[in-house]
Every structure is written in structure tokens, then in C-alpha cells.
Amino acid sequence: MTGVDQYTRQVNFEPPRSFGTILKSRIKETFFPDDPFSQLKKEPLPRRTIKTIQYFIPICEWLPKYHLGLFKYDLLAGITIASLAIPQGISYANLAQLPPIIGLYSSFVPPLVYAVFGSSKNLAVGTVAACSLLIAETIGEKVSPTENLQLYVNLVYTATLFSGLLQIVLGILRLGILVDFLSHSTITGFMGGTALIICLQQMKGMLGLKHFTHKTSVVAVIKSIFHNRREWRWECFVIGIIFLTFLQFTRYVKKKKPKLFWVSAIAPMVVVLTGCLFAYFAHAERHGIATVGDLRKGINKLSINRLNFDSEYLSAPIKAGLITALIALAEGIAIGRSFAIVKNEQTDGNKEMIAFGMMNIIGSITSCYLTTGPFSKTAINFNAGCKTPMANVVQSMCMLLVLLFLAPLFSYTPQVALSAIIISAMLGLIEYEKAYHLFKTDKFDFVICMSAFLGVSFISMDMGLMISVGLALIRAMLYIARPATCKLGNIPDSNLYRDIEQYPVATATPGMLVLQLGSPIYFANGTYVKERILRWVRDEHDVSKSSHNDIEYILLELGGVTSIDITGVESLFEVRRALEAQGIKMILVNPRLDVMEKLMVTKFVDKIGRNSIFLSIDDAISACRFTLKSSKQEVEGERLEDV
């Protein structure tokens, strides 16, 4: 491969693509990274229309192919998740300071909507703890649910509407990209912090307290627990511990024997039913064990007239709506994706957003509050063998039956049973092992995770989330502001050039300095890249001064530079000017398509000359050596004289 003819291999100096072409491909990569319509291109028009409808309303795709064989699985899965939906619905409504019936309503309408618009086959729709608490925190600041429940509930519906609207807008604008900015580390910390607070708050139910704080910081909650010491009821606590032990045991069973997942799936229902029976027969109220109370028969009422856009309160539902919308999306989409990967299916994040948005908009006018795809429910749905979104329809039908006939039964559910169910669910969300893993593997990710955890625990949920996302963004900014550069050396007996720090065996070529740049070069790092290159040259000079070996060429390996903007090109111009002043020639190696186009259009290529751009380091070095040879020989001569 080595030889003189080698550096005749041509770099592509094709004129740049038109602006339109570039813009189109950029927009496609940014907003349609999954290329959803690629399959449509080849089809004839009528078929394409059907496919497009099927794309936007997935039920049109799967329902015609549906058959009894599939329904068998979906029926079982649907009943299982419904049995979880009842206790969870009541519990989380409790957490959101809402009347328990709204929790049941929220498992009836939204699953039906999702079945129509949703694209994930495994997702089970339901309410989630973190968002429920966040709603209570944000709206509770404005209106106390104990003082004016009617207004509070209205504002929660309004917040749900805003969530839905935001989700649908994000989906239509294909801004799924926003969810990408919630990193795993942030979510781990946020979930952990939320779970901790929720667990502590459940001490109200576990200890049978009547007065309790509405604040969510750990300090306030612990203070409140001990402040109301006189209200502690040991009866409550004993029952709570029994329930909790039972629930944790079923989780343990599931962990040991994954086939017995249904044991943990129906356990909350068992707890609720046992609690109801116990409360009914033992007249629990008389012993200070509070029950849920007031669950009337009947399905969701329309709540469109309850939406409240009064400017006095509007800020609270907007804030709650926007934050919970993003968290709900992050949870729902991430979960949909993970299970899709297991089954080797695709999910379209932007389509899911539209489905979630529809779900919450319709939910907000039918007495439901925020729903998404909660992790626990989806996992159970998946394990129960669901095949299509029909499982959600089954869930919905079960809830319909409950609402029509059985709801009053559940009014006997003791609060302590709900607290035990919530604590048991939350304990699984404090992933201390994952945090330790982060600590071991990436300290900065650990800091991001802990900032979310501590922020949520000690300040507030939204502040914790924002601090963590802010830190993650700062880190991202640092990545782009300080891209790694390294000096390359030749790996002996090969034409490979690798980082000298990573491969100490690699040797530098005399008279030349080979630098590898990485990441895009643009305004945020142009100055840095420029100064870093000049510093490499200075360092090299310091070393070479002693060894009579001056740098004559600088080779910049641009293979890792994915794009460059005007400020970046100007930095390269400045580098070139500075190097020229020192009598050093600048050579570019392997610029990529986007970079090459920008260098052509800014006349940089004309300035440094086409013969200063090479396809590979090897080519460039051979060419440089060829011209170096004469001057090298002189230097060699001098050195001999010195000796």
C-alpha cells in the first residue's frame, strides 16, 4: 500500500449540495430520525392513503387483523392490570389529594383512548405516583384541597388539559427530542427522591394521623410526623406493617420466580379486599382506622364545564401541566421503548406523544386526571402476555363494571391499606444500586442523579428536576465547548495513526505534528480549538528545541469533526495565519461531507490549496515527506556537524 502513487488518491472536491437538499436532510434527521414514512414511498396512492391513516390511528392497523387467538392473551392481561388499577387508582388519587373516585375514572376513559391512538403493544395506561404528588404540590400551593376541594379539582382537570395540549403539540412538531434531554441519571434521581417523599408521606396513613403537612420536603414531612405524635395509632401501624410485609413478600416471590408475577400483580387487590372486609366487620372507624369513604356508583361525568381558566389561578395549572406532561412523556415513552426493544419492535416517540396528548385532553373533559404508561403496570401487562392495545380495552371494561356496580364496596378500604400499597410500590423505585453503579462508573452522572434526588427531597420536586437537567445541560455544553483533541502517532509496522496517550507504542513522525480533532467545531468551541492547536504546537516546540527537530507541518485529522460553522471556519483561518507566521504549513486530512462543503463555500479550500487536503494521514505524510526531504537532508547535515 505504501508508495509514491498512493497520494494521488483524490479527495472529493465536488461542489457543495444545494441549500435545499442539506436543509431537507437536516430536518429529516432532526425531526424524523426514525424515518416513519420510508415504507410508504413505494406504494400506490390509495394504499398510501390507507397506510397514512393507519400510521396516525394505529387501531386501524391492528384491529382488522385481530382474532380470538390474540384476545385470549389480552383478556388475561387486561383483567390482571385492572385488578392493579383499582387499588393504584384510589391510592394515587389520594396522593394527588383528589377524591378516590377520580382515580377509578382515570383508569376507564384514557385506556380506551390509548387503544385507538397508541402505537405500543405493551403499554398499560394508568396514573403515576410522581406526577400525582407533583400536581398536589403545585396546585396545592395556590388552592388548598381541604378548604376548597371543588376549585382544587377543577384546577387539576385544567392542568390535565394543558398536559394533553403540550403533549400533542410536541408530538405534532415532532419535538420528541425534548424528552431526550431527561437523562437516565436525572430520572433515577428524580424517581428516587419522589419515592422517598411519598414513602414518608404515607406515614400519615400508616400511623393513622389526622393532621398532616401538605409540603413535600423531607424535613417538613418528618417534622409533621413527630409534631403530631399524640395522634399516632398503634392499631393502624400494626395493620399497615402486616399489609406491607405481605406485599413485599409477593414482590420477593416474583423476583425469585418470575413466572409467579401474577402473585404480586393481584396482591394489592387482595390487600384492598382484605382491608375492606376487615373494616366492615371490625367497625374499623371506631378504632381510629380511617377509610376512603364516599365512592358512588356511576361512570365519569363530563367535566368540560369545570375547566377553570381564571387568570388568578391559571399559573398553577399551567406550571403543573407542563412539568407533569414532560415527566409523563419521559416515563411513558421510555417504558414503551424498553419493552419494544425486548420484543424487537419499533415505537415512534412522536406518535406516542400524540396518543398521550389525546388521552389527557379527552381525560380532562371526562373527570380524569393525568395518565401515562406507568412502569409497574406496563411490566405486569407485558408479563401477563398482552399482545395488542386490546388489553387496555379490557382494563377499561373491567373498570366500567366496577364503576357501575362495585364502587361503593371500595369505600370501606382502610387508608392504611392504601399507604401500604403505595410504600410497597415506591420502595422498588429507590434504586440505590443504580446510584452506586453510577458512582462507580461516572462521577458526573452520579452528581446529576444525586442533585435530582436531594433537590426533590429537600427543596421541591420541580426545583430538583430543573437543577438536575440544568447540570446535565451544562455538562453537555462543556462537552461541546471543550472537545477532546489528541496527538496521533504511527503504530509501528502499520499505517495506523492513534492517540499517543492511549497507545504509548505509537511514534511521532519527525518534522510533523498530527492532531486529531473531534466533535463539531463551532462558535462555542472555535476559540478553544484554535488555542488548543497552538498550544500543541508550543509544547511540541519546547520538546523539539532540544532535539533540533522543528515542526514544519501540522496535520489536522478531521474525520471526527461532524460539522463546522462560520465561527469554526474563521478559527481555522486564524490557526492557519498563526502557523504561517511560525513557518508551519497546515494540512487537513479526511474532512467529512458537511465540513468539506462548508470549507469549499467559505473559500478555505482555495486559500490553503487543494493539494493541502488529503484522504488519509498516510497519504499526507508521504506527500509532506517528499517535499520535506531536501530540507531534512540539510538538517541532517547540520546535526552531523554538531556531533
Footprint (CB under 8 A) of its own copies, residues 319-348 = 337, 341-342, 344, 346
- Write down the least CB distance from residue 492 to its own copies, Å: 10
Burial of 169 (0-12, 13-18, 19+ CB in 10 A): middle
- In whole angstroms, give the CA distance from residue 71 to residue 62: 12
- Write down the least CB distance from residue 63 to its own copies, Å: 25
Contact 303, 155 (CB under 8 A): no
User: Which grid cell is 274?
Assistant: 382484605
- Write down the least CB distance from residue 450 to its own copies, Å: 13
Q: Which amino acid is at 62?
A: W
- Write down the least CB distance from residue 387 to its own copies, Å: 18
- Residue 440 near its own copies by CB under 8 A: yes
Q: Which residues does residue 614 pair with via DSSP β-bridges, in sequence order?
A: 589
Instruction: Closer to its own copies by CB, 107 or 519: give it.
Output: 519
Which of 493, 494, 492, 538 shows the shortest CA–CA distance to 515? 538
Which of 129, 111, 128 shows the shortest CA–CA distance to 120? 111
Name the segment binding its own copies (CB under 8 A); options: 162-170, 216-224, 296-304, 590-598. 590-598
Name the segment binding its own copies (CB under 8 A); options: 134-142, 228-236, 319-327, 572-580. 572-580
Footprint (CB under 8 A) of its own copies, residues 460-489 = 472, 475-484, 486
Between 118 and 147, how does the x/- string for binding to its own copies read (CB under 8 A)? Answer: ------------------------------
- Residue 442 near its own copies by CB under 8 A: yes
Which of 451, 448, 474 shows the shortest CA–CA distance to 185? 448
Q: How many residues bind its own copies (CB under 8 A)?
A: 96
Q: Which residues does residue 589 pair with via DSSP β-bridges, in sequence order?
A: 557, 614
- Residue 453 near its own copies by CB under 8 A: no
Between 163 and 202, how does the x/- string for binding to its own copies read (CB under 8 A)? Answer: --------------x--xxxxxxx----------------
Residue from 406, 491, 510, 549 touching its own copies (CB under 8 A): that is 491
Integer-rounded Cα Rg, in Å, for the chain is 32
Instruction: Closer to its own copies by CB, 6 or 544: give it.
Output: 6
Alpha-carbon 597 to chain mean position? 34
- Residue 157 near its own copies by CB under 8 A: no
Over 426-458, what HEC string results?
Answer: HHCCCCHHHHHHHHHHCHHHHHHHHHHHHHHHH
Name the segment binding its own copies (CB under 8 A); options: 112-120, 379-387, 440-448, 635-643. 440-448
Burial of 417 (0-12, 13-18, 19+ CB in 10 A): buried
Residue from 21, 148, 502, 507 touching its own copies (CB under 8 A): that is 502
User: What SS3 state is found at 424?
Assistant: helix
Instruction: Closer to its own copies by CB, 61 or 531: give it.
Output: 531
- In whole angstroms, give the CA distance from residue 548 to residue 425: 71
Instruction: Give the number of other CB atoms < 10 A from CB of residue 149.
Output: 14
- Write down the least CB distance from residue 360 to its own copies, Å: 23
Instruction: Closer to its own copies by CB, 102 or 515: give it.
Output: 515
Instruction: Closer to its own copies by CB, 274 or 567: give it.
Output: 567
Alpha-carbon 334 to chain mean position? 6
- Write down the least CB distance from residue 324 to its own copies, Å: 21
Which of 262, 268, 263 shows the shortest CA–CA distance to 384? 262
- Residue 433 near its own copies by CB under 8 A: no
Between 518 and 557, how does the x/- string for binding to its own copies read (CB under 8 A)? Answer: xxx-xxxxxxx--xx-xx---x------------------
- In whole angstroms, give the CA distance from residue 402 to residue 26: 51
- In whole angstroms, give the CA distance from residue 161 to residue 359: 10
- Write down the least CB distance from residue 446 to its own copies, Å: 9
**500-528 per-residue burial string, b: 16 or more CB within 10 A, e: under 16:** beeeeebebbebbbbbbbbbbbbebbbeb
Footprint (CB under 8 A) of its own copies, residues 30-59 = 30, 33-35, 38
- Write down the least CB distance from residue 622 to its own copies, Å: 13
Footprint (CB under 8 A) of its own copies, residues 9-28 = 9, 12, 19, 23
